[in-house]
Structure 1
Amino acid sequence: MARLVDRMSASLIGDFRMNAPPLARYRRALETYIDAKDNTLAPRIAEAFAADAVLTMSLATSAIAFPARTVGAAAIAKTLVTDFGAQYARCRTYYVCDSLEVQDGVLDAIPWLVVMREQASGALRVGHGVYRWTFDETPFVTHFDIHIARMDVVPDADGALLDALQAGLDYPWLAPAALHAHFTTLARDTPALAFIDAFSRPASAPDFSHPV
C-alpha cells in the first residue's frame, strides 16, 4: 500500500522538498487549486485536474449552493473559479492541517477554512469543511470531494472584520493550533466576531463516497 507522509514543521518542509518529489507534486496540485480558486485563474485548474475529473459536493448548510456533481476539468473550473469568483472577492482558503498523508493516491479528510467577501452585499462569509482528493499516477486530480460543514454570513460593510480574521494567518497552509489561537482571541476580544469561535477548530470529516 503506497503511503507518503508530510510532517509540515519548518525543519521538515525543506527535507521533503529535496527528498520526496512525489509528495511535493501532490502538495503542488493542492496549491495550484487554491491559487486558481482564490485568485480567479480558471486556466490553472487544468494544471492540477485530469480532463475527466469529477467534483462532488455535500452541504450541511443552506447558506451557499453548488451543484452536487460536476464532470470535467473545464466544468469544474467554471463552477469553482469563474462562477465562484463572480460572487465572492478577497477570498482566502486555508488547508487546516499539520501534515499530509497520501495513501494509494488519496489525500483523505483535509480540513479547510474560507474567509471571503460577498461581491454584491459586502457581507463577510466564513466557512469550513473537509476536502478529499483522489489522484492518478501523474498525479492529476481524478476525484475531488468537498464537504461544507458550516457557512456564516455577517454584515461587514467596511471589510474590517474580514481584515481582522485574515491578518496573521499563514496561507494557504494553516496549523490548527495557530487557527485556534487567532480565532479564540478574536472571539473573546471583538463582540462582532464572537461567532468565530465555532470556526476555531477544524471541521469533522464526513463519510465520503463517490456517486455512481
Structure 2
Amino acid sequence: GLGTDLIKIEGVKELHGIDYTIIPDRIEAGTYMVAAAITGGDVLIEKADPLLLKPLIVKLEEAGVWIELEKNLIKVTGPDRVKAVDIKTLPFPGFPTDMQPQFMALSCVAKGTSVITETVFENRFVHTGDLIRMGADIKVEGHSAIIKGVKELSAAPVMASDLRGGAALVLAGLVSEGTTELSRIYHLDRGYVKLEEKLNSLGADIKRVKE
C-alpha cells in the first residue's frame, strides 16, 4: 500500500471521469527561489506547495535566505551573500536532483566552501565546465563537486547541456559582470514557460535572440 515498496491494484470493469488539479511544478518554483537567493532580491511565489519544497527551503534557510511560508504562498528574500552549505541529492522526499545545478550556481558565489553530492543520476555535473568558464571555482571528485565560493562571476559565452544545467547558467548570468550569451536554450523551453519574461518582471535584463 501507500508508503511501502509494493502497491497492488485490483482491476474494475470500468472507470469514470473525475476533476483533478495538477500540482504546481516544484522545480520551477524552486528555480525562482534560488534566483531571489543568488541576486539578494525577493520574490513572492504563488500556488506553490511548501511541503513539496521542504528540502530546498531547509538548505536555503541554512544558507541565510529569509523565507516566509503561507498556504500555497512562499516569499523569499536573499541576503547580500549566502553562506556555503552542503547538499546531497536523494529521491523524493529528499533534496531533488533537478535542483542540484541551480543550487550549484548559488554555491559558486556563496561565502565559504560547499560540497554537493549527486546520488541520483550519473553525469549530472556537465554544467560545471561552463560555470568554471564564468569564474567559478569547482572541483569534481567522483559523485561530489567541491565549490569554493567567489565574490563575483564574469560573463562568458556558455551552452545549455540540459534543462536544469541551462537554468543554472541563467542564474549564474544574473550575477555575472557583463553580458552572458547562452546557446541551445531549447533545453530550457522543455521545463520553463516564458522563463525570461518572468525573470525580467523581477528586474532581470534577458533577451531571447535568434542564433
State if a TM-score over 0.5 links the two structures. no
TM-score (norm 2): 0.30
More strand by share: 1
Which gives a bigger RCO, structure 1 or 2 (Cα 8 Å, sep 6+)?
A: 1
More helix by share: 1
- Structure with the greater alpha carbon radius of gyration: 2
TM-score (norm 1): 0.30
